[in-house]
Amino acid sequence: MSKDKKVVEKKSEKKAKEINKNEMLNKNNLSMEKLRALCNNRGFIYAGSDIYGGLANTWDYGPLGVELKNNVKREWWKFFVQEEKSAVGMDGGILMNPNVWVASGHVAGFADPLMDCKDCKTRHRADHLIENSKQGEGVNAEALGNEGMEKFVLDNKIVCPLCGKINWTGIRQFSLMFKTNRGVTEDSASVVYLRPETAQSQFVNFVNLQRTSRLKVPFGVGQIGKAFRNEITPGNFTFRTIEFDQMEYQHFTRDADSLKDYEMFKKKAMEFYVDRLGLEKKELRFKDHAVLCHYAKAAVDAEYNFPFGFGEIGGTHHRGTFDLGNHQRDSGKSMEYICPVTNERFVPTVIESSHGADRITLAVLANAYCEENLGTDDKGNVDMRVVLKIKPEIAPYKVAVLPLQKKGLTDKSDEVFAMLSKHFMTTYDDSASIGKRYRRQDEIGTPFCVTVDYETLEDGCVTVRDRDSMKQERVKIVELVKVLGNKIYECWA
């Protein structure tokens, strides 16, 4: 065994023991600014159009970010669609006939209550001003209504969070719908909307979906796609954006079973967050809507405790027959389901399970962030390790291949990379010392590092290092895919 390798393994064993004794700092030491810096520096998320000064509430996903978000979406699809016997998927268009949004109620009622600061000219949601202020602790702002929220802000002298002044306009309703025009002329007849939710394509295609898939009520339809909202209030990093990926599942059922199914999908959402994505249950909560949306009979948000506080990442909604009923009325086309057993005709009730891929990805990053005190280094300095403890199944890279040195090990390392990359998302890193490369992979959440050393050329084995424990083991290359597969995926065969 090489001298360098012995030193590395000895230090790693020492750190692996210390990690269980020393204090671990997580959420209490994490701010949104720190998380945003890590995402930008390591290639998770960049500011949109950055070279032109950016565009408010827009973000671009880098190499690691796109992998992580895609993994979240794949896990959602597997959990909600693939593993459900009575579920199918679809992919609807972003642009739809504008009458869809009239029937859905969005054209008339999809707006935010906003107040302008007259001093710094910024615009803020009234309910957020109240809920984020000391005066608003314990106050359910939505329940106050627009007039009550405005009075509360003014009577309690709530300051502008940006400039600190108290000089507000009254509440005005601002539409969240993005308009555009189709064709060469711009008039009311050419107006179309960028969809504010993906759900409506699931509703207008209800008859097609049921007929072609020969599904019996109850059944579900899943969809992942872009949605757009004219958000003009400041956001917390990617928490509030003007375009985002929605993961929405519509469950079509009988009204008599709807409340039972509503509770079932609340439980299912929590299971997805905790069991499939690895979010800590103690950092999650349900929050019932005090004021219901125009379409809902019951609604609850699933919230995660971000560094800025609890924020919505998904929701379960009892939509009743609102959507299918309105589309039946406005289109003149039947949305009824005919029971093949009883010949009963009825418009199904809808239970919606809706999840934001961007917010959930942000929650995964915040949940995974750790700073670990590993004691002191050889010079007596405190040795802190930043690590993203992302669940291995959804980590951007599952494996990193690291040649101990470039000289004489590149060919064998390339062989190992070629073999592993057929099975796992794999990265390759041969710059800097092996210790620095381990830390680099820790910081981006790679669960396993495979080190190729000079002994590998003789015995055909590599060193596999675990991200969380930092423990190392020797594994034969011919068994490497199976060993890593068992470590990464619970259901690996």
b/e code 368-402 from CB counts within 10 Å (16+ = b): bbbbbbbeeeeeeeebebebbbbbbbbbbbbbbbb
Burial class from Cβ neighbours inside 10 Å (0-12, 13-18, 19+) for residue 27 reads: middle
Q: Are 313 and 303 in contact (CB under 8 A)?
A: yes
Contacts of 354 (CB under 8 A, 6+ apart): 197, 199, 246, 247, 248, 249, 314, 315, 316, 317
Give every CB contact of residue 263 below 8 A, 6+ residues apart in sequence.
none
Burial 145-161 (b: 16+ CB within 10 A, else e): eeebbbebbeebebbbe
CATH superfamily placement of domain 1-23+397-493: Anticodon-binding domain (3.40.50.800)
Q: What is the pTM of this model?
A: 0.86
Tokens of 157: 């002298």
Give the other-Cβ count within 10 Å of 458's Cβ: 8
Torsion angles phi and psi, residue 201, rounded to 5: -70, -25
Q: What homologous superfamily does CATH list for 31-93+188-389?
A: Bira Bifunctional Protein; Domain 2 (3.30.930.10)
DSSP 8-state assignment for residue 168: B
| pLDDT score for 488 | 96
pLDDT of 206: 98
Instruction: State the 10-residue block means of pLDDT for the chain, 493 residues long.
Output: 48 47 52 96 96 93 98 98 97 96 87 88 88 88 87 94 92 87 76 95 98 96 96 81 96 97 97 98 94 81 96 96 97 97 96 98 97 86 93 98 96 98 98 96 98 97 97 98 93 52
Task: Report the alpha-carbon distance of residue 453 to residue 462 in Å, rounded.
Answer: 7
In the chain, which residues fall in CATH 3.30.930.10? 31-93+188-389
Tokens 């959990």 map to which residue? 79
Q: CA separation (Å) from 417 to 242, 401, 420?
A: 39, 6, 5
Question: DSSP letters along 420-435, please?
Answer: HTTTS-EEE--SS-HH
Per the CB < 8 A criterion, the answer to whether 233 and 123 are in contact is: yes
Q: What is the pLDDT of residue 24?
A: 41
Closest CA to 235 of 124, 145, 134, 106: 124
Per the document, the length of the chain is: 493
